[in-house]
């Protein structure tokens, strides 16, 4: 028997791993000191922070001093872009990103335009990949930063970050990558990737929500975006979230120690979903890159069905999934990602993202394979292709 509910929205967030929870617990009650305090509890908290920073630095193959703990992925993305932009304004005002970035990047670029910055938003191909040649062609004398995500949250596509970093560095341009979806799934070795800045969020790899990392390479021109105390070597003011940071580091360490095993587990379930759904549902297509995609990500479009209706129907069956990104579900806007992939509206409207994780089982996947084709058929029967969408809802 399959365990219910079937949680298939690990790209939105993940449950905290039991070992992570255990590692965090002491820092709320038993050792609740402020890491800046000099007495025993303060020193204990400071030690926990130092050791968390060492752990993260090991996974990133960087120096501990290059790791800044933040309040999540969005904050890390904002700080990466704004901190680089404002620190380099004397050199140039041009940024390069791509059309399928998370809103934490795209909206920050729009925000920066108020201050005189300009952004080139590069297109992606039908699989969601950025062409490194297009990055090279977009670089101008006044370009200060290229920010391209490592892996996409909606369709799972992995970007050729190494090649993109190489062409940017040939022209002396800094490179940031939003690695929030890649954390816990792909190598985060910043030297092999060749990036200068990188963002992570703890809750995407079985760590706590509201925790993140911004890596800034030593020597990269960047300035802090939050003013106040001298925490994080003056790079991110505010009392540190000790328990959260300990949890993030533990989660990252666990994930990267188990990277291969988790990949095998996730890929098996992902491929079972992809193969099963594409064969059992007519007019269905996989979105994103067929092979160069996150091991846990299965994303689809079904012709002439509404994504919201699929989610509601699945919820009734205790299957938790998402359509497009979590931020856009509930709004009628089509996903900017699917639009950038060139999917026509009658396909993009019926998008479904299923992202598997550690606690999912083959029995749960088979349950989805039994329920979903029938649901799509029912929804299509209720709203035949000739019926306008507005009349059907
Ligand atoms: C989730 C996500 C973010 C935002 O991270 P938060 O921790 O939720 O602020 C940014 N970028 C990508 C690619 C994400 O998937």
Residue 130 has pLDDT above 90, yes or no: yes
pLDDT tens sequence across 358-376: 999 999 999 999 999 999 9
Spacing, Cα 377 to ligand 1 middle (Å): 33
CB distance 357 to ligand 1 below 6 Å = no
What pLDDT shows up at residue 333?
79
Ligand 1 atom, smallest distance to 151 CA: 13
Q: Could you give the domains of the chain?
A: 6-14+259-392 (3.90.1150.10), 18-257 (3.40.640.10)
**Mutation choice for ligand 1 from 201, 208, 336, CB with most ligand atoms inside 8 A:** 201
Distance from C-alpha of 23 to C-alpha of 246, rounded to nearest angstrom: 7
Closest to 220 measured CA to CA, from 240, 187, 190 = 190
CB distance 157 to ligand 1 below 6 Å = no
**Mutation choice for ligand 1 from 97, 197, 204, CB with most ligand atoms inside 8 A:** 204
Residue 212 has pLDDT above 50, yes or no: yes
Give the predicted TM-score (pTM) of the model. Answer: 0.96
Spacing, Cα 219 to ligand 1 middle (Å): 26
Q: Two tokens at 126?
A: 């039908």
- Given a contact cutoff of 8 angstroms between Cβ atoms, the answer to whether 196 and 215 are in contact is no
How far, CA to CA in Å, does 227 sit from each of 73, 86, 232, 237, 239? Answer: 19, 14, 12, 6, 12
**Residue owning the nearest CA to atom 8 of ligand 1:** 73
Spacing, Cα 74 to ligand 1 middle (Å): 6
CB distance 168 to ligand 1 below 6 Å = no
Confidence of residue 384 (pLDDT cuts 50, 70, 90): low
pLDDT tens sequence across 263-316: 999 999 999 999 999 999 999 999 999 999 999 999 999 999 999 999 999 999
CB distance 153 to ligand 1 below 6 Å = yes
Mean pLDDT score across all residues of the chain? 95
Q: Give me Rg for the CA atoms of the chain.
A: 22
Spacing, Cα 201 to ligand 1 middle (Å): 6
Closest to 202 measured CA to CA, from 83, 75, 296 = 75
**Residue owning the nearest CA to atom 14 of ligand 1:** 180
Distance from C-alpha of 175 to C-alpha of 191, rounded to nearest angstrom: 12
Spacing, Cα 180 to ligand 1 middle (Å): 6
CB distance 102 to ligand 1 below 6 Å = yes
Point out the residues that are catalytic: 327
Residue 332 has pLDDT above 80, yes or no: no
CB distance 297 to ligand 1 below 6 Å = no
What pLDDT shows up at residue 330?
53
| Span 24-38, average pLDDT | 96
pLDDT tens sequence across 61-85: 999 999 999 999 999 999 999 999 9
**Residue owning the nearest CA to atom 12 of ligand 1:** 180
CB distance 73 to ligand 1 below 6 Å = yes
Residue 254 has pLDDT above 70, yes or no: yes
Distance from C-alpha of 225 to C-alpha of 76, rounded to nearest angstrom: 10
Total residues found in the chain within this entry: 393
Distance from C-alpha of 43 to C-alpha of 31, rounded to nearest angstrom: 10
CB distance 196 to ligand 1 below 6 Å = no
What pLDDT shows up at residue 127?
98
Residue 329 has pLDDT above 60, yes or no: no
Spacing, Cα 305 to ligand 1 middle (Å): 27
| Span 211-234, average pLDDT | 97
CB distance 76 to ligand 1 below 6 Å = no
Distance from C-alpha of 82 to C-alpha of 228, rounded to nearest angstrom: 17
pLDDT tens sequence across 136-154: 999 999 999 999 999 999 9
- Given a contact cutoff of 8 angstroms between Cβ atoms, the answer to whether 55 and 252 are in contact is yes
Name the H helices within 235-335. 242-257, 259-280, 307-316
Terminal alpha carbon distance of the chain = 34
Q: Burial of 330 by CB count in 10 Å (0-12 exposed, 13-18 middle, 19+ buried)? A: exposed
Q: Two tokens at 237?
A: 């003011």
| Span 94-113, average pLDDT | 98
Distance from C-alpha of 330 to C-alpha of 328, rounded to nearest angstrom: 6
Residues paired with 143 in a beta bridge = 94
| Span 23-33, average pLDDT | 96
Confidence of residue 2 (pLDDT cuts 50, 70, 90): confident
Closest to 201 measured CA to CA, from 270, 259, 263, 251 = 251
How far, CA to CA in Å, does 271 sit from each of 129, 267, 296, 310, 362? Answer: 21, 6, 9, 20, 11
Spacing, Cα 76 to ligand 1 middle (Å): 9
> Tokens 């905290």 correspond to what residue?
16
Ligand 1 atom, smallest distance to 209 CA: 7
């Amino acid at each position: 028997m399959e365990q219910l509910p079937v949680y298939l929205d690990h790209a939105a967030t993940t449950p905290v791993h039991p070992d992570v929870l255990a590692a965090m617990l002491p820092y709320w009650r038993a050792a609740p000191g402020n890491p800046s305090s000099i007495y025993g509890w303060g020193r204990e908290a400071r030690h926990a922070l130092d050791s968390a920073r060492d752990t993260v630095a090991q996974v990133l193959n960087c120096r501990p001093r290059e790791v800044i703990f933040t309040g999540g992925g969005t904050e890390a993305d904002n700080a990466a872009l704004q901190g680089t932009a404002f620190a380099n304004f004397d050199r140039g005002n041009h940024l390069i990103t791509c059309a399928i970035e998370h809103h934490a990047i795209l909206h920050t670029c729009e925000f920066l335009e108020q201050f005189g910055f300009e952004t080139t938003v590069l297109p992606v191909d039908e699989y969601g990949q950025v062409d490194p040649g297009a990055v090279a062609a977009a670089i101008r004398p006044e370009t200060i930063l290229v920010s391209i995500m490592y892996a996409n949250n909606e369709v799972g596509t992995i970007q050729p970050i190494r090649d993109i970093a190489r062409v940017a560095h040939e022209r002396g341009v800094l490179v940031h990558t939003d690695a929030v979806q890649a954390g816990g799934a792909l190598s985060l070795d910043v030297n092999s990737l060749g990036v200068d800045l990188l963002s992570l969020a703890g809750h995407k790899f079985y760590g706590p929500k509201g925790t993140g990392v911004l890596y800034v390479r030593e020597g990269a021109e960047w300035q802090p975006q939050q003013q106040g105390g001298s925490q994080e070597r003056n790079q991110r003011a505010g009392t540190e979230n000790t328990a959260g940071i300990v949890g993030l580091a533990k989660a990252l360490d666990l994930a990267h120690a188990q990277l291969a095993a988790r990949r095998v587990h996730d890929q098996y379930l992902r491929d079972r979903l992809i193969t099963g759904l594409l064969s059992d549902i007519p007019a269905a297509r996989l979105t994103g890159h067929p092979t160069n995609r996150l091991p846990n990500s299965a994303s689809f479009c079904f012709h002439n069905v509404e994504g919201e209706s699929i989610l509601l129907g699945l919820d009734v069956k205790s299957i938790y999934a998402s359509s497009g990104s979590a931020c856009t579900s509930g709004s009628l806007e089509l996903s900017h990602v699917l639009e950038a992939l060139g999917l026509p509206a009658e396909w993009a409207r019926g998008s479904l993202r299923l992202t598997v994780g550690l606690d999912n089982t083959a029995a749960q996947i088979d349950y989805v394979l039994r329920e979903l084709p029938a649901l799509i058929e029912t929804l299509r029967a209720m709203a035949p292709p000739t019926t306008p969408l507005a009349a059907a809802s």
